[in-house]
Structures are given as structure tokens and as C-alpha cells.
Amino acid sequence: MNTSSDLDSAIAKSISTIPECLAAGYIDVGSGFLLGIKTVDSHPREVIDLVAAATSDLFQGPNVATVEAIWKRARGVESNRHYFQEYIINSDNAIHVFMRGKKYQDYVAVFVCRNTANIGMVLAKSRMAMPMIESAV
């Protein structure tokens, strides 16, 4: 069984490989629990906790679950796999990438990068970091 230090190391390594990455975290969206986080700056604990809860809402909130069910029904999909896999949110100062795991569908990685980063490289490097993070869980 892997330890939380394995996850912490994988998150820290992902930050070093993703362009202009300021923070990364790994969230169990089923429970809204933050499994690991690494930031280059300090942030208030209540903000970090809210990010985990908001990520859970983003991927599994009631309206999202309804939309997923409608799409699955309309397309005849009978899988437990979720329909929405990634979100990219651009704020005034940052690119926020939210990625559902391929191996563990109920876990989501969050990467926050400066908005000056090349978004294509941020996405490519974030996707490349996912297997390492998932293997640490």
C-alpha cells in the first residue's frame, strides 16, 4: 500500500514538470476529501478546503450527475465511467486544470498555473503527470 508521502512526492514532482505550476492537489470527489496538496505559496486552510468541496461539486454535483445520466441514456452508454473527464477554468491570474483519473474515476487532480503559461503545454504535461499521481494512491 502506498503512503501519503508517495502521493505528496508525486504531486510535488508534477508541479516541477507542468509549466508555471503554482499548486496541485488530489481530491476524492466522492467524499470531497483532499488527499494531498502542494503549493508554492501559503493559502488559508479554509480556501484549500473549499477548493476540494467545489471540485467535488464540479464533477459530481446534482446538476452534473443529471446531465451525465441524460447523455449516457441518449447515447446508449451502460458504463460506470463518468462523462465529464476534464475542466479548464481560466481566472484573472491562473489556469485551473481539473482532471478525473483514468484508473480511479472518483479521484480528481487539480493543477493551477500562471495564466502566462502555454495552455497546450499545461494540458499535455498535466495529462502526463496523471499516471504518476494515480500510481501513488
Residue-wise pLDDT for 63-100, tens only, equals 998 998 898 888 888 878 888 899 999 999 999 999 99
Residue-wise pLDDT for 13-71, tens only, equals 999 999 999 999 999 998 889 999 999 877 777 878 788 889 999 999 999 989 988 98
Instruction: Note the pTM of the prediction, 2 decimals.
Output: 0.90
Count of beta carbons in the 10 Å neighbourhood of residue 72: 16
Backbone angles phi, psi at 78, to 5 degrees: -120, 60
Name the domain count of the chain: 1
Domain carrying residue 30: 4-135
Return the CATH number at 13: 3.30.450.30
From CA 122, how far away is CA 124, in angstroms rounded? 6
Looking at residue 25, its pLDDT comes to 95
